[in-house]
Chains A and B, each alone.
Chain A
Amino acid sequence: MSFFGFNTTLPRDRAPPIESRGIFDTPDPFAEVARARAEGFQGGDDDDVIDFEDTYDGLGDQLDDDQDAFNDDTFGGGVDPSPVGKDFDFFGRTAQVADVIGEEQIRYSLQQPGAPAASATATQPAADAALPGAAAQKPKRTGYEKYQDPGYIPDLQAKSSVWGMSKKPEPQPQPQPHLQLQQQLQQQLTPQMVSQAKKMLSLEEVEAQLRRQGPGSIPTQLPLPLPHSMPELAQPLQRAQMPPLPEGFAQLPPEIIQAQLAKGVPPAQLLHQPPMVPEPYPLPAHAPNLPMHLLQNANLPPQHMMSPQRQAMPPAAQRPQQQQPPPPQAPRGSATQLPVITNSQQLMHLTEEQRVAYLMEDAKRAKRNHKIFLLSKGNGLMTPQDKNFITRIQLQQLVAAAGNVADSDSEAVLAEDFYYQVYSQIRGAPRQHPHQPLGHFAQTYLLQTGNRLGGHGSRRQFQSADNHMQRMQQQVQRAVEAAKQKPKNKQLIIEGSLGKISFSNAKTPKPMLNIKRPESSEGAKTMKKPHTDLSVSDRKSVLTNLESVYNTLMEMEDMERTMPPPPDENDPEAIQKHMEWRQKIRSLNQKLWRELKVMEPIVPNTNTPHPFIAFLSYPKGKKAIPRIFRHIDQEQRVTILTMIVVHLDSLDVVRRAQPVPGETQPSLAVREAIDLFSQAVMPSLLGYVNEAPFNIIIGLLGLVIAQTQVHMISKTRIGLGILTMLLSRAEIVKEAGQATERDWQQWVEKFNVLFDTLEPTFADIFPSSINAGDDMYVWQFLAAVGIGASPEQQQRLVIAVKDRVMETVTYSKTLPADMASQRLGNVNLFMRAIGLDVELLG
């Protein structure tokens, strides 16, 4: 099936190989003729007549005329049912199977290892093949070549010329008959081509020729219209500038055309030149042999001598006028013979489409190999140590570049991530790695490197790996230190502008426009205003106090965390540090104490509550008490306790908790406040009272009796709680035998006053309704009173609360068992204190 004119004979079908066959073994039909002739010569047969038997490849014998099963495949008849008319698109049909042709060609060349090498060398410019940029000249086969050149003539001359130039002299005898054929064929059409091919000149020869002609002779050509000197050179140009004719791309390196177009050379100008079919112009002998760039240079005005770049690329203004072809050697420096070869190659392309296809493959392969070669040049240049060194440098830069380095220390972590850090400590959920991303990253990275290096066996490498690990770690540490030292430039303040531009990082994702606060003028005034305010108990100033108390508390807690270890006596520096720390704590303590405003003078008979009592009226204030108590000394504690006791009836939890007629219990807000107070403040007070000396208890009781309205206090839970606290402490002191006789006498005195004051209202201290809920605190108080009371007082007490006891016992019988036992237990608390039991009541 040699339909497309190339030889598809399989090796097994082929005639026995002839010695020289590989060189010109092409699918070209003329090659067969040439070979036949050559064989004829070799065989010593002088007869020029071509013997049919010599050239016939026997393919016709293989044909089966009856078998037209694949005709449709070949001609596409099955697809297109319309009859073939006069306008049958031969080329279009062929182009449809162009791919198959290409594949076929490749397959063919693969089957014949000798052929591709020969054809490659023949068609590929020898100089190009050696050059790295050879792959750049990738012929772009479109399939239109045959349409483009009506004077389509297979030019075998080019191949022989290449061979003539090549270093291999072996095939030289062979071309001789071949050349004759060529000459015969070509003389009719393009004699100058033949002559050019025949007289292949080297660069030196061309230069010598130019020199011989002298400087004057070439410039004389300048006014001449170009076609005279460059008929066939203009042709490729004309094609090159016409985008719809992609063949030109095959001849000129594509980058040149692109460069031309990019430079804005209008293709239309270049198109002005009439299409030139090579004509037998009487050319000067040297002209066809001149490499393009030489011609071009010769045609350039003298200014071309100025720079080699100019030489390579003529000024854009001149080029269109001159209709100069773009210098094909521009991308490569040294391809002086390129134009000639390109020229012949052009013909090669035209004649042997299949070779082009093969060449494309070959060029691709060459390109890939070249790439690999280029890449592999650096192989083994760096030792692993070198790589590590580079890695360290990169790591350092990374560390230095990251702005949030300081976050890696615990203080900053706590500042940025306080809630999470403390919460996980409290709740014991260190679920996420607390390290900052950077530290984490660095660690992971170091670990990886260690593994990678550790994988090698030898001991030396092990050591060096370790060494690198250490050095890398040190490097990172140093880098982190350095970055810490470096002032952080997180904001940019443009002079005279109102705001700052913050640079965002992962920690502060949204850059804010921070308004710079004028510290001197406005801000200070507004800050001072609350202090100059007359009232220190209005809501706003109390809340401000509260916040400053909290801030101080947090500062103190921070200080506590950074407490230096107990100093060694021999280490003056440590002692010094410790002293400084204590000094700071002390000053903070003073600050806290001032902010608490406990020592504000007590103004009797005013509606404005004392600042500290106002402080306690806010939930935040109540919650602060336990924390405050941890940071103040005993004296300050007793002062606070005294303050509370003195103002007991003006405490919000007492004042607002007064039973209102018609209401069974205080409002929800008050109840919450009471709960909070008894949860937050009472334990702190109790903690102090349990250790307080007896005289202080006596003094406090005296204050309650003297300064407050005991009736009012006794009707509230908090009031009773504080009284219970004092009474039970006195009892404990008495039991422990720590009380002196005089103190005890004093106490009994006060107690009697209290008892006498309260006796008429004992029945009223209970919550108004029996089913109002928890009355345990009342029974506790009664128990505390009962224990400290004399037998006579106990009797009076029993009489006072007898009704309530009976009521509760009766009521508890209607309750479920557990609640009943709870209520009875509460009553029993009191009953046992006076030596009785609810059981006795039956």
Chain B
Amino acid sequence: MLFFSFFKTLTNQTVTIELKNDIRIRGTLKSVDQYLNIKLDDVDVLDLDKYPHLSSVKNMFIRGSVVRYVMLPRSEVDIGLLEDATRREAANQAGKAR
């Protein structure tokens, strides 16, 4: 749930999402769910020349499994907190595995 928890804090931030088919989309993260499906608003497709069919798309729902990267605004990430959250997650997982 770490990533879900993490992405929830990024709602209404501008992120760039790179899909596994190399399309990169920049938009406002509207919401995310536990499958890391992503809803984007005010979408801009980078390399629009390559993907003209996306030129009229203004918002989209991206299935979590097709996302390769999510590029985040650095200022919106609390690294220390994220490290701690990661530790907790690891501890939780270890606890579950045992």
Binding site for B on A (CB under 8 A): 415-424, 426-427, 429, 431-432, 506-509, 514-517, 519, 547, 550-551, 554, 620, 623
With A514-B97, A519-B98, A550-B84 as given contacts, are A416 and B5 in contact (CB-CB < 8 Å)?
A: yes
Bound CA–CA A514/B84 (angstroms): 23
Are A417 and B97 CB-contacts (below 8 A) given A423-B78, A426-B78, A623-B80?
Answer: no
Whether B34 sits at the interface, judged by CB under 8 Å, is yes
Q: How far is the CA of A551 from the CA of B6 in the complex (A)?
A: 20
Q: How far is the CB of B98 from chain A (nearest CB, A)?
A: 6
Interface contact A422-B81, CB-CB below 8 Å: yes
Given A432-B8, A551-B91, is A509 in contact with B34 using a C-beta cutoff of 8 Å? yes
Which residues from A are CB-within-8-Å of B12? 431
Q: Across the interface, do A416 and B78 meet the contact criterion of CB distance under 8 Å?
A: no
Q: Which residues of A contact B92 (CB under 8 A)?
A: 415-416
Report B29 CB to chain A, min CB distance, Å. 12
Given known A419-B2, A429-B9, A554-B87, contact A517–B97 (CB-CB < 8 A) = yes
CB within 8 Å of A: which of B83-98? 83-85, 87-89, 91-92, 96-98
A residues in contact with B91, CB < 8 Å: 551
- Contacting pair A509 B84 (CB below 8 A): no
- Chain A residues whose CB sits within 8 angstroms of the CB of B82 once the complex forms: 419
Contact B6 A420 (CB under 8 A): yes
Tell whether A420 pairs with B9 under 8 Å between CB atoms, given A509-B34, A509-B35, A517-B98. yes
| Contact (Cβ within 8 A) A423 B81 | yes
Bound Cα distance A419, B32 (Å):
15
Residues of A within 8 A of B9 (CB): 419-420, 423-424, 427, 429
A583 to chain B, nearest CB (A): 23
Could you tell me the distance between the alpha carbons of A516 and B96 in the complex, rounded to whole angstroms?
10
Given contacts A416-B5, A427-B78, A507-B34, 10 further A-B contacts (CB under 8 A): A419-B85, A420-B6, A420-B9, A421-B5, A424-B9, A429-B9, A517-B98, A551-B87, A554-B88, A623-B80
Complex Cα gap A786–B9 (Å): 51
Given the known inter-chain contacts A416-B5, A420-B9, A429-B9, please indicate yes or no for A547 contacting B98, CB distance below 8 A.
Answer: no
Closest to B85 in A: A419
- Say yes or no: A506-B34 contact (C-beta < 8 A), given A415-B92, A550-B87, A554-B88: yes
User: Could you tell me the distance between the alpha carbons of A145 and B97 in the complex, rounded to whole angstroms?
Assistant: 75
- Contact sample, A vs B, 29 pairs, CB 8 Å cutoff: A415-B88, A416-B1, A416-B5, A417-B1, A417-B4, A418-B2, A418-B84, A418-B89, A419-B2, A419-B6, A419-B85, A420-B5, A420-B8, A421-B5, A422-B81, A423-B81, A426-B81, A427-B78, A431-B11, A431-B12, A506-B34, A514-B97, A516-B97, A517-B98, A519-B98, A547-B87, A550-B83, A554-B84, A620-B83
Bound: A547/B9 CA distance, A:
25
Of chain B, the residue at the smallest CB distance from A419 is: B85
- CB neighbors of A among B1-43 (8 A): 1-2, 4-6, 8-9, 11-12, 34-35
Bound state CA distance, A516 and B92, in angstroms? 15
Across the two chains, which residue of chain A brings its CB closest to B35? A509
With the chains together, A620 CA to B84 CA distance in Å?
11
Q: How far is the CA of A420 from the CA of B34 in the complex (A)?
A: 13
- In the assembled complex, the CB of A39 is this many whole angstroms from the nearest CB of chain B, namely 79
Q: Which residues from chain B contact A419 at a C-beta distance below 8 Å?
A: 2, 5-6, 9, 81-82, 85
Q: How far is A509 from B37 in the complex, measured between Cα atoms in Å?
A: 12
Docked CA distance A416–B1 (Å) = 6
Q: Which residues of the other chain, A, contact B89 by a CB distance below 8 angstroms?
A: 418
Instruction: Judge whether B5 and A417 touch: CB under 8 Å.
Output: yes
Distance of A417 Cα from B98 Cα, bound (Å): 21
Task: Give, as a whole number of angstroms, the nearest-CB distance from B59 to chain A.
Answer: 19
Q: Please report the C-alpha to C-alpha distance between residue A623 and residue B5 in the assembled complex, in whole angstroms.
A: 23
Per CB-CB distance, the 4 closest pairs between chain A and chain B, nearest first, are A419-B85, A420-B5, A419-B5, A423-B9
Q: Which of A420, A421, A506 counts the most B-chain CB atoms under 10 A from its CB?
A: A420
A623: chain B residues at CB < 8 Å are 80
Contact at B84–A515, with CB atoms within 8 Å? no
Which residues in B have their C-beta under 8 angstroms from that of A429?
Answer: 9
**Which residues on the A side are within 8 Å of B88 (C-beta)?**
415, 418, 554
Nearest-CB residue, chain B, relative to A420: B5
A275 to chain B, nearest CB (A): 64
How far apart are the CA atoms of A427 and B75 in the complex, in Å?
12
Chain A residues closer than 8 Å to B5, beta-carbon distance: 416-421
CA distance A623 to B84 in the complex (A): 12
CA distance A506 to B35 in the complex (A): 9
Provide the bound-state CA to CA distance between A523 and B88, in Å: 21
A515-B78 contact in complex given A417-B1, A550-B87, A554-B87, C-beta closer than 8 Å: no
Residue of B nearest to A407 (CB): B1
Q: CA of A569 to CA of B88 in the docked complex: distance in angstroms?
A: 36
Cα distance, A508 to B89, chains bound together (Å): 13
Contact A418 B85 (CB under 8 A): yes
B97 → A minimal CB distance (Å) = 5
Q: How far is the CB of A543 from chain B (nearest CB, A)?
A: 13
Q: How far is the CA of A417 from the CA of B85 in the complex (A)?
A: 9
Docked Cα-Cα span, A773 to B88, in Å, equals: 41
Chain A residues within an 8 Å CB radius of B81: 419, 422-423, 426
Most buried by B among A418, A432, A623: A418
Interface centre among B8, B83, B89 (most CB of A within 10 A): B8
Across the interface, name the chain A residue whose C-beta is closest to B9.
A423
Distance in Å: Cβ of B82 to nearest Cβ of chain A: 6
Q: Could you say which residues of chain A place their CB within 8 Å of the CB of B87? A: 547, 550-551, 554
Q: Residue-by-residue, is B33-58 near A (CB-CB < 8 Å gives 1, otherwise 0)?
A: 01100000000000000000000000
Kindly state the separation between the CA atoms of A418 and B12 in the bound complex, as whole angstroms: 20
A403 CB, min distance to chain B CBs, angstroms = 14
A550 contacts across to B, CB distance below 8 A: 83-84, 87
Taking CB atoms, residues of chain B closer than 8 Å to A517 are: 97-98
CA distance A424 to B8 in the complex (A): 10
Most chain B CB within a 10 A radius of its CB, from A416, A419, A509: A419
**List of B residues within 8 angstroms of A519 by Cβ:** 98
Give the residues in chain B near A506, CB-CB below 8 Å: 34
Select the residue from A416, A423, A508 with max chain B CB neighbours within 10 A. Answer: A423
Q: How far is the CB of A497 from chain B (nearest CB, A)?
A: 15
CB distance from B85 to the nearest CB of A (A): 4
With a cutoff of 8 Å between Cβ atoms, the chain A residues found around residue B1 in the complex are 416-417, 507-508
Closest to A550 in B: B87
Instruction: Output the nearest chain B residue to A502 by Cβ-Cβ distance.
Output: B96
Shortest CB-to-CB span from A26 to chain B, Å, is 65
A519 to B94, CA, bound (A): 12
Question: B residues within 8 A CB of A432?
Answer: 8, 11
CB proximity of A640 to chain B, nearest CB, Å: 20
Complex formed: what's the CA distance from A427 to B76 in Å?
Answer: 10
